[in-house]
Amino acid sequence: MERVSTGVEGLDRMLNGGLIKGRTYLVKGCPGAGKTILSILFLLDGAKRGENVLFISLAEGVDEIRENMNYLGLDVSGIEFIDASPTGDKTIFGDLFFTSFDIDTQGFKSMLEARFDKSAPSRLVIDSITMLRVSAKSEMEYRRDLLSLIGMFKRFNVTTFLTSDIYEKNVEDYLVSGVIELHMIDIKGKILRGVRIAKMRGIEFDDTMRPYKIVKGGMEVYSDLSLFEER
């Protein structure tokens, strides 16, 4: 099975060489944890290898994301962005996509499918999946739609990151091939950041929480350090 780098060396080490191509992964963490940054690094790694990579923003405006990434010193010109945030350019996906502010996942899927038929990216980020969840009419509907979305990504061999700011285990945890959690832990007023792989099908992985930092140029994962002193 072909492996795909996450764009972060230390995280690749935790994954014994990277993710499996064509599968869908969930990146979880509270706001500010670094989900968008990790997602961008994943796409930049593909762009660096000459791949087509696509970032779909369902929450934040794309201009803001570009600004934040530039501030971090990341050149995102190799990434294609689609702004599907509520304030974004609603014409990109046509009428299919938006009925006022809510998103219907079936419509989202058929639009993406039409686009992939013409040119499928090799890597995709949907930031964040929470927007699809809140717009679903029921848990059943959400599960069915998400499953068919993940199936489509597999058919087109697109390695995908979905981001989520919900910590509890949810439908999506069960449907994806792997879950990467970005934790921010308050210890006496000091925030410790830790990355943990909660699930990863088909890969022998490091299940210890490892410290990570957001730095100029991206993210560093210290795969040989433990967040907590082991005794």
Provide the binding-site residues for ligand ADP, judged by CB under 6 A.
Answer: 29, 31-37, 72, 214, 216
CA distance 51 to 139: 35
Q: Using CB under 5 A, which of the segments 8-16, 35-43, 76-84, 105-113 binds Mg ion? A: 35-43
184 binds, among ligand ADP, Mg ion, none (CB under 5 to 8 A by kind): none
Shortest Å distance, C-beta 193 to ligand ADP: 9
Nearest to Mg ion of 36, 170 (CB atom): 36
**Distance in angstroms (rounded) separating the CA atoms of residues 38 and 42:** 6
Q: How far apart are CA 149 and CA 162, in angstroms?
A: 11
Is the peptide bond between 128 and the residue preceding it cis, with omega within 30 degrees of 0?
A: yes
* Whole-number Å distance between alpha carbons of 143 and 76: 32
Contact between residue 53 and residue 121 where contact means Cβ atoms under 8 Å apart: yes
Minimum distance from residue 69 beta carbon to ligand ADP (Å):
9
Q: Any contact of residue 57 with Mg ion (CB under 5 A)?
A: no
Q: Which is nearer to ligand ADP, 86 or 107 (CB)?
A: 86
Q: Pick from ligand ADP, Mg ion, none: which does 192 bind, CB < 5 to 8 A by kind?
A: none
Q: Is residue 39 part of the contact set for Mg ion (CB under 5 A)?
A: no
Instruction: With residue 221 as reference, give the H or E element that holds it.
Output: strand 218-221
Sheet of 218-221, strands arranged across: 80-83, 53-57, 123-127, 159-164, 24-29, 178-187, 190-200, 210-215, 218-221
Q: Report the C-alpha gap between 88 and 93 in whole angstroms.
A: 11
85 binding Mg ion? (CB under 5 A): no
CB nearer to Mg ion: pick between 126 and 152: 126
- A 10 A CB-CB count for 175 gives 17
Residue where the block lists tokens 């991206």: 218
Q: Which listed residue (5, 6, 36, 177) binds Mg ion by CB under 5 A? A: 36
Report the nearest approach of ligand ADP to the CB of residue 230 (Å): 27
Contact 29, 35 (CB under 8 A): yes
Rank residues 44 and 152 by Cβ distance to Mg ion and give the closer one.
Answer: 44
The stretch near Mg ion (CB under 5 A) out of 18-26, 34-42, 130-138, 168-176 is: 34-42
- Minimum CB distance to Mg ion smaller for 73 or for 202: 73
Residue 127 C-beta: closest distance to ligand ADP, Å: 7
Taking the complex as a whole, how short is the minimal distance between the CB of residue 142 and Mg ion, in angstroms?
A: 21
- Residue numbers at the binding site for Mg ion (CB under 5 A): 35-36
